Amino acid sequence: MYARNINTYILSIMKIEENYSLEKHNTFHVQVAAKHFMEYDSEEELSRILRDEYFMECQKLHIGAGSNLLFLDDYNGIILHSLIGGAEQLKSDDTNVYLQVGAGMAWDACVAYAVSNNWGGIENLSNIPGETGAAAVQNIGAYGVEIKDVIASVTAYEVKTGNKKIFTATECKYGYRDSIFKNELLDQYIITHVTLKLTKQPVLNLSYGNLSEVMCAEKEQNIQTVRDVVIKIRAEKLPNTDELGNAGSFFTNPIISKPHYEAIQKDYPAIPGYEVADNKIKVPAAWLIEAIGFKGKSFDTVGVYDKQALVIVNLGDASGTEIAMLAESIRTKVLQQFEIEVNPEVRYVG
Ligand code: EPU
């Protein structure tokens, strides 16, 4: 229907797939289909699409690699995906390089490129599935670093008007796994490029967990070895999405008040917690899920990963609803046992 209505310009330049399987476009590998699927590879193309009157009326969703999405059903609209790749050095001085990265570039390819040039700042974010545009929406983080720490600006197009806007890092309103693009501007802008400010004299950040301990065993202390070590640690704890469908951490780590934390500590002295602000403690959701007895448990087609309780896995042909139901039982149990709400980091669609 949509393809028949869409204007001839778009039809002439774009390949629009109909009833397109999204299995390869979501790392849970849930078998759903999109009514239409469209890819573009330049800002001009995107801008033309956004100004198309038929496109404007259609229900639509822009995706990255689908590593943070849970499709509950077939998508009855148009799915857009960026093929804008490449990493271009915009400017450079004695200390920094500003690297403009296409939103469709695999995030880890971007990290590998930076590390191979000895540009520091993102090596701790090695091997995170997903694409660069989505990484900037999500404010991905690992091993003591968040992408916001190195974001200089984000280039995006307003869906409603097709106009371009450059957001400074401050305008992106970054927080823990959070940004303006997940809140007041949800689905209102499409990111085409992310500009990273990387350093030419890398300083290693080994503050997280046992990273410094593991690094001690390495002969060389540089960003390449940090990358190697992070890749190794992640491979030990997190399932490969190609082998076992998953979306990394399913929940964010909840932040609770200090009195609440201390009350729980009376019954559970081992509960870990990290002070994040005055009177606020971040508690690992993985610990809570392990404490309710769900770590390593499987329920027919879905399960909780046995090496990291924060990861829900598709054990076979799980549907999005089955995955969501397991997540819901975890939420309920954690709430009953600890009076803590754990909220999905994963975005539900449908
Ligand atoms: N823990 C458990 N049981 C487990 C796993 C962990 O009790 O099965 C407890 C331990 O006390 C451990 C603590 O949780 O010390 C923290 O575990 P981990 O270092 O694995 O980190 P996390 O808080 O579970 C976060 C991110 C990960 C990121 C790691 C490393 C979130 C939601 N997740 O996980 O990000 O890789 O830190 O920095 O903040 C992702 O977002 O997809 C992701 C994998």
DSSP structural state of residue 259: H
Q: Ligand 1 center to residue 326 CA distance, Å?
A: 19
C-beta of 286 in contact with ligand 1 (< 6 A)? yes
Measured between alpha carbons, how far is 91 from 112 in angstroms, rounded to an integer?
Answer: 19
What is the model's pLDDT at position 1? 44
Q: Specify the ligand 1 atom closest to the Cα of 307.
A: 8
Would you say the CB of residue 189 lies under 6 angstroms from ligand 1?
no
How many Å apart are CA 232 and CA 126, to the nearest integer? Answer: 10
Structure tokens at 262: 């201390």
Residue 186: other Cβ atoms inside 10 A: 12
Query: Please, what are the domains in the chain?
Result: 2-82 (3.30.43.10), 87-237 (3.30.465.10), 245-349 (3.90.78.10)
Cα of 6 vs centre of ligand 1, distance in Å, is: 45
**Whole-number pLDDT of residue 52:** 87
Looking at residue 13, its pLDDT comes to 61
Where are the strands (E) in 149-273, listed by range?
Answer: 151-158, 164-168, 189-199, 245-249, 255-257
User: How many whole angstroms separate alpha carbon 315 and alpha carbon 30?
Assistant: 11
Q: Is 19 left (phi over 0), alpha (psi -120 to 50) or beta?
A: left
Q: How many Cα atoms are found within 13 Å in the side-chain-facing hemisphere of 319?
A: 8
CA separation for the pair 290, 216 (Å, rounded): 30
SS3 113: helix
All residues at 6 or more sequence positions from 93 whose CB lies less than 8 Å from its CB, including other chains: none
- Predicted confidence at residue 6, as pLDDT, reads 57
Which residue puts its alpha carbon closest to atom 24 of ligand 1? 286
Average pLDDT, the chain: 95
The upper half-sphere exposure of residue 341, i.e. CA atoms within 13 Å in the direction of its Cβ, equals 3
Query: Mutate which of 107, 147, 206, 287 to test ligand 1's pocket (most atoms within 8 Å of Cβ)?
Result: 287
Q: What is the distance in A from the centroid of ligand 1 to the CA of 226?
A: 18
Nearest CA to ligand 1 atom 16: 284
Would you say the C-alpha torsion 168, 173, 174, 177 has a positive or negative sign? negative
Residues 250 and 345: beta-carbon distance below 8 Å: yes
Determine the atom of ligand 1 nearest the C-alpha atom of 291.
7
- Stretches in the chain below the pLDDT threshold 50: 1-3
Instruction: State whether the beta carbon of 130 lies less than 6 angstroms from ligand 1.
Output: no
Residue type, 187: D
